[in-house]
Amino acid sequence: MDCIEAIMNRRSCRSFLDKKVEEDKILKILECATYAPSPANKQPWEFTVVLDREYGKRLKEESEKTKAYLASRSGWKWLESFDLDFVTQAPVLIVVTGDPSKNGAEQFLNEPGKCYVDACSAAIQNMCLAAHSLGLGSLWYTLYEKESAKEIFGVDKDPVGIVCIGYPAAPPGVTRRKSLEEKVRFIR
């Protein structure tokens, strides 16, 4: 699949078939993740590939609590009907953890940012695009408290995101984009 086509047609998937994902596809997705750019090529990411659905059940339980907390703080009514079943449906969860000590040049600046998070995010995007080009659905998932995710998956670094992957059970919903006119300014 052409790169532009993959970017334009990837959509978040929140409904997965009960169908195993081939290991060679999982490995290709992980390899694509490692080709993301990173500060000073520090490659601050690590990947925990979860194929045991029991972990998804625990994540969903924790996410329900996070969702309730978020609903109470934000007042977002739509959250009430936001079903988290996809967390247990997805046959593959990939927990992407980032190492804050691998921040590249940023850690020596006066205002250190979070370049390791940026790099992990680039890796996640590569994974979502790779999954799409391999005929799989994916979701970039963050509805969890980080300490809970660390405990569930036995990771000690920053769990920047969890990528849910599987064969899509339904065509993705439509998500609209704002126009370039609204978002772009040229300086000529």
* Closest by CA position to 130, among listed 15, 37, 34: 34
Closer to ligand FMN by CB, 11 or 58: give it: 11
Q: What is the DSSP letter of 2?
A: -
**Smallest distance, ligand FMN to C-beta of residue 162, A:** 8
**Smallest distance, ligand FMN to C-beta of residue 6, A:** 12
Query: Out of 41, 81, 110, 175, which residue is the one contacting ligand FMN (CB under 6 A)?
Result: 175
For residues 100 and 73, what is the distance between their CA atoms, to the nearest angstrom? 28
Residues with Cβ within 8 Å of residue 157, at least 6 apart in sequence: 46, 97, 98, 99, 100
Closer to ligand FMN by CB, 132 or 157: give it: 132
For residues 14 and 164, what is the distance between their CA atoms, to the nearest angstrom? 9
**Smallest distance, ligand FMN to C-beta of residue 139, A:** 6
Residue 66 near ligand FMN by CB under 6 A: no
Residue type, 67: K
Query: Out of 12, 48, 107, 148, which residue is the one contacting ligand FMN (CB under 6 A)?
Result: 12
Give the CA angle between residues 176, 18, 58 to the nearest 5°.
85
Choices 8-16, 18-26, 44-52, 108-116; region in contact with ligand FMN by CB under 6 A:
8-16
**Binding letters toward ligand FMN, positions 105-144, x by CB under 6 A:** ----------------------------------xxxxx-
* Closest by CA position to 37, among listed 110, 161, 125: 125
**Smallest distance, ligand FMN to C-beta of residue 35, A:** 19
Closer to ligand FMN by CB, 5 or 22: give it: 5
For residues 29 and 94, what is the distance between their CA atoms, to the nearest angstrom? 10
Closer to ligand FMN by CB, 23 or 146: give it: 146
The answer to whether 16 and 56 have CB atoms below 8 angstroms apart is no
The answer to whether 164 and 29 have CB atoms below 8 angstroms apart is no
Which residues contact ligand FMN (rule: CB under 6 A)?
11-12, 14, 139-143, 172, 175
